[in-house]
Amino acid sequence: MDTANRLQGREYDVTIVLHPLSGRRDATAFHLESGRLCVLASRHRHACVVVARAGIPELLDAHPSTGRVRLNVPIKFPDGWEANHAVLAHLAGHRVPT
């Protein structure tokens, strides 16, 4: 078991990832950082299994993005709140029923 920070630059045949918001009661800027989620989801060569608890979308919605939004100004880095929602939406089609 390792952290996203330690996995940076490494690669494995198969990874089993615990979603950064699993087991949390709140969503902090640290846990919502899009780079953290990107590293966790991109360290595999063949397969990545994401383990997550129920309720993460609701946890995200309880902590909306607080960054300033300016019209016609491109965002330099992906927003972690939006990135987490996008990843969860993609994974919903691959969910294993419990």
pLDDT tens readout for residues 59-83:
888 876 666 767 887 766 567 888 8
* Confidence at residue 10, expressed as pLDDT on a 0 to 100 scale: 84
pLDDT at 97 over 80: no
Q: Which residue has the higher pLDDT, 41 or 5?
A: 41
CA distances from 85 to 19, 28, 33, 55, 79 (A): 12, 15, 12, 12, 10
pLDDT digits 0-9 by tens, 26-37: 888 788 888 888
Q: Cα–Cα distance between 45 and 69 in angstroms, integer?
A: 36
Query: How is residue 17 annotated by DSSP?
Result: E
pTM of the model: 0.71
Query: How is residue 54 annotated by DSSP?
Result: T
